[in-house]
Amino acid sequence: FFLPVLKIFKKPVVCSVVTPAYQMPVLVKKFPYHVVVNNEQDGEFLKSKGFYRFSIIPPGINTSVIHSGDYSYDGGKFVLFYGSAPWVHSHFRKKGFDMLLDLVSERSEIRLVCLWRGVLYEEFLKKIKDAGVEKSVEVINTRVDVNQVLSRCHVGIVLAESADVAAAYPRSLLESL
| Mean pLDDT of all residues in 128-137 | 96
- List pLDDT tens digits, range 22-61: 666 665 666 667 778 878 888 898 888 888 888 888 776 6
**Band (112; pLDDT cuts 50, 70, 90):** very high
Q: What CA–CA distance (Å, rounded) separates 115 from 149?
A: 9
What is the model's pTM? 0.61
SS3 98: helix
**pLDDT at residue 109 greater than cutoff 80:** yes
Range name among 10-14, 75-79, 98-102 with the lowest pLDDT average: 10-14
Can you tell me the distance from the alpha carbon of 144 to that of 147, in angstroms, rounded to the nearest whole number?
9
Decide: 133 and 101 in contact? Cβ < 8 Å.
yes
Q: Please report the pLDDT score of residue 30 as a whole number.
A: 62
Kindly state the average pLDDT of the residues 107-125.
91
Decide if 102 contacts 78 (C-beta within 8 A). no
Top pLDDT among 124 and 117 is at 124
